Structure 1
């Protein structure tokens, strides 16, 4: 009887060890917006996702000794997808703000960039006083949208909210918007496009609480071990130059910082 008990115990122990090992080896699902956000996240001609944050995500996972998979989802539902367990991380230029920290945790920042106003190059634009009566476009559920609602409400500007960043860009190009407010790095890339050659960055938004503490990796509030590993990996890829190299490659400048 004793030997049978020992055999059952050993079998259960082995099964539990196998289960824990399999769980530890499960790929980390890195959530990005299903709407392309070049040069941070976009699809290459091969159909594979690429960009600064995609490559950086793989580098961070490599530092943690983990395998990662890119898991696109709608931007407006990306935090619920994280908390429901459909993804494990959010790595999509998400600013660390007090409002978001009420429902998710963040790694230390890995870059910071302000919002930028873009309008036609031949338009004289004094910001914020010159926005009165103009139509300004921003993407929903972004820090730029939060800033516009909180800081520009007395400027007389008409704020138009869009689901996707490319919808904002398209309406600026077509003349349905007078000005847009979006991430400075993304806008620097946008105005380099041939179809946007008649537009320029007019100004950048000042530091404001709506912009939070920089860009971090979102994760569930109870994933303490993963958060420790993430923070160590973020510091490593910045200190060893990996983040800077990828930033120069995709963005043309080094935006990497964790303090």
Structure 2
């Protein structure tokens, strides 16, 4: 190919790329920059990946949105959304009535059980009786913290952490007796060398729809129906066209979506 033809072809490709970028609405998607495998994990180069990152990319591609992952500390996500520092939250945030007082949610994009794990040498279950007089670690500002405070009132202490990883580390070190979180995230810890050595599954907590909600959805500002509708349509589309299943099979041997129901 002659040089001028190469240049013309390159210019055409750049123009087409620019036209696509110009047509895609850019939104900032907030997430807490902490390891939460297999949903969010950071590689040696500092890039984020995982099931939820792949799902975010699939939803944004389907909705023709140019989504930029924007790191925000967990307890700052909702304030950042309300003050327009970000446009959406997609970070395993459960849909709850309490949160819906401040923000809106898309329909759910996954729903998994809530589990309790503890030291292997301690025998107890995930009930108020089983956790009586125990020190329970939970991540602050989560549904798990709210659940523990409501249901495990006879615990010796409900200890709150900024990240789930900190709770896991204290459990492994013997500074707490148990921790409650999403079952998939805790399963990833139990499969790690550290988790295998120290801890095991104690059980799943009893359902509480009011506290735990119907699943995880994308948080959007109240009244932002345009973005909410785009996300809902995209979630429905990737479920229907097989993209959701394709991504999920890379990480799980089951469908983590849960029951087919509306979350809103």
| Offset, 1:45 | 2.4
Secondary structure of the residue that 1:129 maps to in structure 2?
A: coil
Partner of 2:39: 40
Aligned to 1:245: 246
The equivalent residue for 2:56 is: 57
Equivalence for 1:160: 159
Which residue is equivalent to 2:89?
90
| CA shift for structure 1 position 44 | 1.8
Is the CA contact 1:245–1:254 (under 8 Å) kept in the aligned structure 2? no
Question: TM-score when scaled to structure 1?
Answer: 0.87
Question: Counterpart in 1 of 2:224?
Answer: 223
Deviation at 1:37, TM superposition (A): 1.4
**Between Structure 1 and Structure 2, whose CA radius of gyration is higher?**
1
Counterpart check, 1:197 vs 2:166: no
SS at match of 1:196: helix
What pairs with 1:176-195 in structure 2 (closer than 5 Å)? Answer: 176-195=175-194
Taking the aligned partners of 1:150 and 1:23, their CA distance within structure 2 comes to 49
Alpha-carbon shift at residue 240 of structure 1 (Å): 1.9
Distance 1:147 1:157 in 2: 15
Residue pairs, 1:17-28, within 5 angstroms? 25-28=24-27
Alpha-carbon separation, structure 2, partners of 1:52 and 1:115: 18
Cα offset, 1:22, TM superposition: 9.2
| TM-score, normalised by the number of residues in structure 2 | 0.85
- Pairs aligned (count): 238
Which stretches of structure 1, 4 residues or more, deviate above 6 A after TM superposition? 21-24
User: CA-atom RMSD, angstroms?
Assistant: 1.8
Distance 2:246 2:223 in 1: 32
Q: Which structure 2 residue ranges, 5 or more long, are not aligned?
A: 1-19
Aligned twin of 1:5: none
